Structure 1
């Protein structure tokens, strides 16, 4: 009985010691593998992070190049736009200078001339109408939208009288012995149409000349703006 108990205790003792060794070995191996796994994971993450940095750096440099190109394009466009604007503005000032001069002649004749209300005054008004028509049609790009609109209203109303004048002049053309007489016959034949044109479209033409003054005031404010700064 005592012998059996001793054997059992020895077996238990031996097994118990092996168990401790196994447990200790397992713990050491687990720690070792954990460190290896962590190191491998860290290396992988470091590699991916570096790749991401390299990719972002390449994208950033690419964006910087594109931005530089775009800035150069805009700067070039700005220089072109600035020079074009200055050229167009100078042309606009020139056109409105001529329109303002015609405007002054028109209103001076209308307000100051003793002949302004006489029937013969229609020929003078007609010349102003014709000069305004020629100037605006040749420089329509440089007049304001409102002035172009008012001119179109006047022209549509005046168009039938221009046509009638053409028909009346054609009807008497070629019946004179000299060119001078022929031109005089045409001029005289067209006089009724010219008279009607002035009478029927006078308010519309007056509105055009009044708009010229409004536009000139706007241009003057633009010119004076740098002086105020």
Structure 2
């Protein structure tokens, strides 16, 4: 089931010298279920930090983050890892595919980590939607950047997460492939009813979202 995301007075400090660097400052934000949301802002504004705290990849310094009624900031490391595996899909800018696994096994890796049987029918639907059904026996280095990112998207969707987070998912692609990849990611999220939150510098890509959130110096503008 998709989930409502709510940040309450969230701050994140890095380092301790001089009180630390405030990457996020008292952020209050709600992202409704099923929304396609773009996070924009200058380099160093806090976009990736905001994405990372929402996706359980980074702890907050202060504040609370709720997925419906579940406060993920109260979880220990193992609890956060397990919650992330079953509820959150993450698409990285640099793909992060396993070089020793073929494409099919890369996509199915979340099932292995979750110790669940692979839903082959669902995986088949995913790869068909993403246009990579003919690449399943290949290794990652045999694919183009655009194809590798589609594999990364399929892997992020494999366990049917409540929310998909994507950090500059088209940053390593040319403009044409970047637009196609973003369009596929948004289409898949909408078709499956997932919430999608993505970071981008590209205003054209941001305009494809239901809502654009701008962050300036760690604060929502």
TM-score (norm 1): 0.25
Return the index of the structure with the highest Cα Rg. Answer: 1
TM-score (norm 2): 0.25
Structure with greater proportional strand content: 2
Higher relative contact order (CA 8 A, sep 6+): 2
